Structure 1
């Protein structure tokens, strides 16, 4: 069973310098909001993204009220991990696939007093970081998705601006503002597992290739989502893992709502439908860009737990196999139907 221990209280220097390591869609969006709230932020990312921001600034939107443009000279920009040497706070927003690689860069360049915040999917990254780093590691859970709609424009596709983090109230207070808030929570480990239960459906969206909202309006897709979440909950229960729902209702009720007739689902699940009409899961974007996905942190972890506890995870196995096949094909989302996924 994977657990996350709560770190001791940390000292935060005044005018803390923040480096966002692995600044992709999530990292640039969060980093940009922190800049707008008055923080010193450096984005450490790949040349493609950093050059686009350097040439055209950083644009942030959320489909509602947020529509912001930051000049490039307001933000630190780097493609070299040497910028970590100046960090008081490191926000790690990279994919789980490169956690160990970036941990090595942090260990080499970052000062010992730096706080490392893992803004990553899955539940295993904080443990990996703690095994490799002397710095304090703080796990966080980010409940929204961000897409790169242009070379330097990042749009949040779900309408919430709160990040949940381990119990570090002073750090949460420092980073919070009108544009984005950080909430410290003592039972964070259960929250992380609750977020995994929502992320478990990223693969379904990636395989279908449809916008999330369109899938949610189809009862067949909703029943498939409910099935994979319920199977995952059974596996977690067999492993003795507790979770706390990050949805407005319990995950059991969440699955019940997914199975309602569409007309009733629309009335009850308004908050679930408050997403950008074209929003898709980040795993879909990974397939479209011919990148490896984080499937091992979702279905892969559930399958491991099922094997360790001698229980079934058949649907998760099928989904896992289909994503791996799509990765190997490098042809984008396969655009599968519900029946094709169930019968794989």
Structure 2
């Protein structure tokens, strides 16, 4: 009987493996033919705003940079024209200026002399680096499991938007007081803010489970299992776990959508139109009006780190600028 149960279990396991589905386009139009270029080293760490190479060079939204951060530090952000990196222990660097901090900094932004920090214990700090003093420090619910794509704080005119690890956006005024607590996703297992942007005076933010927009006093909330999300112009593009690619306006009204059965999108990018990098080695290009698409063969090692910034995809030890 024991052997029979073992056999039945094995049959179910093998059947599950045999029926596991992958994205398989009916046809491709060959390899994507835009010129590839080599990175100087492999990507070792990354977030939504850039990546660190294992030789200390960095990738930012502005492209490849020869600026080097010291060994043991990882890129967080380029903010106020300065590179911010963390040793994930007790220090950050603003360009080459070392600043001691009270814990592990996982996100940071700078404007003038104000430094906005998010710590791994889900506390936030606003610091005056000219006078070396803390202007605000607050603690929120500890988050033990986080998506690695942690959004950085955002300076917006006279306020600071702090994304937290427990699915909130904390709004801090010019007088260094918390004036609003926007709850994006209080319940998800991976509910840290992974995307934060302000488009035409509308705040757009996302976790792995939800997308919100806040503008003119109106909050819009949509439930999506998000694989990736980007903004381009006045539009938001969302790739979901179930293979959908969705185009919305900044109020999250759906303009167009397409579904690619079993597709697992690693990253979205925008050249002259939208691109989606799919895990089985395909690059999907969708026209701006979503009426047509093309699927290219695009080989890459999906066990390695991949990041898309603007019109460029960085993968393995190469990158490609999209048409």
TM-score class normalised by the smaller sequence: under 0.3
| TM-score between both structures, scaled by the size of structure 1 | 0.26
| TM-score between both structures, scaled by the size of structure 2 | 0.27
- Structure with bigger gyration radius: 2
Higher relative CO (CA 8 A, sep ≥ 6), structure 1 or 2?
A: 1
